[in-house]
Chain A
Amino acid sequence: MTTTTHTHTAALALGDDALVLSHRLGEWMGHAPVLEEEVALGNIALDLLGQARILLSMAGDEDELAYLREERAFRNLQLVEQPGGDFAHTIARQLYFSTYQHLLYARLASVEGPFAGLAAKAVKEVAYHRDHAEQWTLRLGDGTEESHERMRRACTALWRFTGEMFAPLDGLDLDLSELEPVWLESVRSVLERAGLAVPEGSRTGAWRAGAGREGLHTESFGRMLAEMQHLHRSHPGASW
Chain B
Amino acid sequence: MTNTDWPLWEVFVRSRRGLSHTHAGSLHAPDAEFALRNARDLYTRRGEGVSIWVVPSSAITASSPDEKDPFFEPSADKPYRHPTFYEIPEGVKHL
Contacts and interface: CB of A to CB of B under 8 A. Distances in A.
Interface of A: 34, 36, 39-40, 43, 131-132, 135, 139, 144
Nearest to B4: A34
A39 B46 CA distance: 13
Given A43-B45, A135-B33, A36 B2 contact: no
B2 A144 contact: yes
Contacts of B41: 36, 39-40, 43
B79 interface: no
A40 B29 CA distance: 13
A171 B2 CA distance: 51
A29 to B, nearest CB: 14
A139 B42 CA distance: 21
A212 B29 CA distance: 38
B45 A139 contact: no
A139 B30 contact: yes
B28 interface: yes
Contacts of A131: 37
Contact of A40 (B6, B28, B33, B38): B38
B34 interface: yes
Nearest to B39: A36
B37 A40 contact: yes
A82 to B, nearest CB: 24
Interface in B8-59: 27-30, 33-34, 37-38, 41-42, 45
The 7 closest A-B pairs by CB, nearest first: A36-B38, A39-B41, A40-B41, A43-B41, A39-B42, A135-B33, A144-B2
Contacts of B6: 34
A39 B38 contact: yes
A219 B12 CA distance: 47
A203 to B, nearest CB: 30
A36 B28 contact: yes
Contacts of B33: 135
A39 B34 contact: no
B66 to A, nearest CB: 35
A36 B27 contact: yes
